[in-house]
């Protein structure tokens, strides 16, 4: 058991009412999860203020409270520790409670708008195939060696993150590959975490509902690199307009990769078709089963990181050629009559454009490309017209439909998307609110050889409507309907 004092080490305290000698069971920041002898941290959130739940937490058994403002009704026998910034303090407490697990594992964090899940998952698979014990923290799933742990978010909160890292350390993992979302950097979920390496994929329009401006979004990502220690490496994409900005103030050792610019890790696409990508990396050819120009960047980054960590480059390349596409990331299949169905998690304008350009590059000629595109509710609204505009520019037939409407009216979301469709494209665009009906329509219209892209939900196995998650799996539905409509 640890006392409050034991885990406060490294935080700045304004005032203590009561004592810090009390032993605690767990650190909790949601009053609904408090149990006997827990420490409750009151956080001012985006929606509500955790300070309003202090008394609820005490009723449920909390004996110590971390807060930014001392409540007016101080309860007897309860300890109140007043701090400047509860979010920051939470990360200090979590690191100390689990004995700084990030210092006992080689933790590599990958940030950027697109490509985090793909690169972290490929690295995890590569290291597993090479027989190295490893952990993964990603949007799709968390892994401790072979064991899967379900995940709700891309980057866990500070307490869950440290707990997970401690479990990886106990299981003997030498490395962990982790997605670092901009929300997580901004909310200090990765505060005080010790990274051995950091990498940047790219930055484009996303999450401007949360970060307000693109500049603010860039600065949040940059902070991750500013905070890396001198002993770490920091790898950036030299082809991205903001790639060098990321490393401007980092203390870490700087490394670059790119396809177009001068870089330490340099690749050229030798072949790109439906059987895979062939790359030449620093002069050596790499055959892979992954498809698409954007995966050339992902594979190059995977190689660069593996090269920073391991000795045997040829073995790394050999095993990389065995890697399969990541769940919901350009996952494709061909029906018996030759219709190609692709499911991809492209839910940003840049990702959608990349996927559609990739399809254009590898199509052979006269086939029709059907795209099914939606935008999530309660998320960045400014991307809606852009996603629709990209959809009609790069496909022959565009079906606008629902993604996860969440609490919004799905038809209103589609109407906002429609404002991005120019008059000249009206003829090729249709709106079908029901996602399953939309997939059905594409399948019924497709002729042998045509290509259907279902974008936006990738690996997700649900559709969230009004707070309820209904079973929904794009790939499963697409396969089932394509067979039904086989001509």
Ligand X SMILES: CC(=O)N[C@H]1[C@@H](OP(=O)(O)OP(=O)(O)OC[C@H]2O[C@@H](n3ccc(=O)[nH]c3=O)[C@H](O)[C@@H]2O)O[C@H](CO)[C@@H](O)[C@@H]1O[C@H](C)C(=O)N[C@@H](C)C(=O)N[C@H](CCC(=O)O)C(=O)O
Whole-Å CA distances, 181 to 20, 50, 121, 313, 430 = 33, 23, 15, 29, 34
Any contact of residue 435 with Mg ion (CB under 5 A)?
no
User: What is the C-alpha separation between 135 and 442, in angstroms, rounded?
Assistant: 39
DSSP per position, 76-94: TT-EEEEES-HHHHHHHHH
Any contact of residue 183 with ligand X (CB under 6 A)?
yes
Neighbouring residues of 242: CB distance < 8 A, sequence distance ≥ 6: 203, 218
Which uninterrupted H or E stretch holds 204?
Answer: none
Closest residue to bound ligand API by CB: 376
Annotation-wise, does 25 bind a ligand? no
**Footprint (CB under 6 A) of ligand ATP, residues 122-151:** 139
**Footprint (CB under 6 A) of ligand ATP, residues 191-220:** 201-202
For residue 427, give the DSSP letter: G
By C-beta, is 329 or 347 nearer to ligand API? 347
Any contact of residue 294 with ligand ATP (CB under 6 A)?
yes
Helix (H, G, I), strand (E, B) or coil at 423: helix
Smallest distance from the beta carbon of 115 to ligand API, in angstroms?
13
Annotation-wise, does 473 bind a ligand? no
Annotation-wise, does 181 bind a ligand? yes
Smallest distance from the beta carbon of 126 to ligand X, in angstroms?
22
Closest residue to bound ligand X by CB: 45
The strands making up 64-67's β-sheet, listed across from edge to edge, are 13-17, 79-83, 64-67, 39-41, 27-28
User: What is the C-alpha separation between 410 and 431, in angstroms, rounded?
Assistant: 11
Annotation-wise, does 118 bind a ligand? yes
Smallest distance from the beta carbon of 240 to ligand API, in angstroms?
20
Annotation-wise, does 114 bind a ligand? yes
Annotation-wise, does 138 bind a ligand? no
From 3, 85, 91, select the one nearest 39 (Cα to Cα). 3
Annotation-wise, does 115 bind a ligand? yes
β-partners of residue 438 are: none
Query: Which of Mg ion, ligand API, ligand X, none has residue 117 at its interface (CB below 5 to 8 Å by kind)?
Result: Mg ion
Any contact of residue 355 with ligand ATP (CB under 6 A)?
yes
Smallest distance from the beta carbon of 404 to ligand X, in angstroms?
11
**Footprint (CB under 5 A) of Mg ion, residues 153-172:** 154
Residues that bind ligand X (CB under 6 A): 29-32, 43, 45-48, 50, 53, 139, 153-155, 157, 181, 183-184
């Amino acid at each position: 058991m640890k006392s409050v004092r034991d885990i406060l080490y490294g935080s700045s305290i304004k005032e203590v009412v009561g004592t810090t000698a009390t032993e605690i069971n767990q650190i909790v920041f949601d009053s609904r999860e408090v149990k006997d002898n827990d420490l409750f941290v009151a956080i001012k959130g985006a929606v509500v203020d955790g300070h309003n739940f202090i008394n609820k937490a005490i009723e449920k058994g909390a004996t110590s409270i971390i807060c930014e403002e001392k409540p007016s009704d101080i309860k007897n026998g309860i300890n109140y520790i007043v701090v400047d910034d509860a979010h920051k303090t939470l990360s200090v407490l979590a690191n100390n409670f689990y004995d700084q697990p990030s210092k006992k594992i080689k933790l590599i964090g990958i940030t950027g708008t697109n490509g985090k899940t793909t690169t972290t998952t490929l690295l995890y698979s590569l290291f597993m195939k090479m027989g190295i014990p490893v952990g993964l923290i990603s949007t799709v799933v968390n892994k401790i060696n072979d064991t899967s742990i379900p995940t709700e978010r891309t980057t866990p909160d500070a307490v869950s993150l440290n707990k997970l890292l401690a479990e990886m350390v106990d299981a003997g993992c030498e490395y962990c590959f982790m997605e670092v979302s901009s929300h997580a950097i901004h909310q200090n979920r990765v505060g005080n975490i010790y990274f051995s390496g950091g990498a940047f994929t790219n930055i484009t329009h996303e999450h401007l509902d949360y970060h307000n401006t693109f500049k603010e979004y860039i600065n949040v990502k940059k902070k991750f690199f500013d905070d890396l220690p001198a002993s770490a490496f920091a790898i950036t994409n030299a082809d991205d307009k903001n790639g060098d900005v990321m490393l401007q103030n980092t203390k870490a050792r700087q490394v670059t990769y790119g396809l177009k610019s001068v870089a330490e890790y340099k690749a050229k696409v030798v072949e790109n078709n439906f059987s895979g990508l062939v790359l030449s990396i620093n002069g050596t050819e790499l055959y892979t089963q992954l498809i698409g120009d954007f995966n050339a960047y992902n594979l190059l980054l995977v190689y660069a990181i593996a090269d920073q960590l391991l000795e045997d480059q040829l073995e790394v390349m050999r095993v990389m050629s065995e890697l399969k596409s990541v769940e919901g990331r350009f996952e494709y299949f061909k029906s018996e009559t030759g219709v190609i169905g692709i499911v991809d998690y492209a839910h940003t304008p840049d990702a959608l454009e990349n996927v559609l350009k990739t399809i254009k590059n590898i199509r052979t000629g006269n086939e029709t490309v059907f795209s099914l595109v939606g935008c999530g509710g309660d998320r960045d609204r400014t991307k809606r017209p852009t996603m629709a505009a990209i959809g009609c520019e790069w496909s022959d037939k565009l079906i606008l439909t629902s993604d996860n409407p969440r609490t919004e009216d799905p038809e209103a979301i589609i109407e906002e998307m429609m404002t991005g469709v120019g008059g000249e494209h009206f003829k090729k665009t249709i709106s079908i609110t029901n996602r399953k009906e939309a997939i059905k329509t594409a399948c019924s219209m497709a002729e042998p050889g045509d290509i259907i892209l279902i974008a936006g939900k990738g690996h997700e196995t649900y559709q969230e409507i009004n707070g309820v998650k209904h079973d929904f799996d794009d790939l499963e539905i697409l396969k089932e309907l394509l067979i039904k409509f086989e001509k």
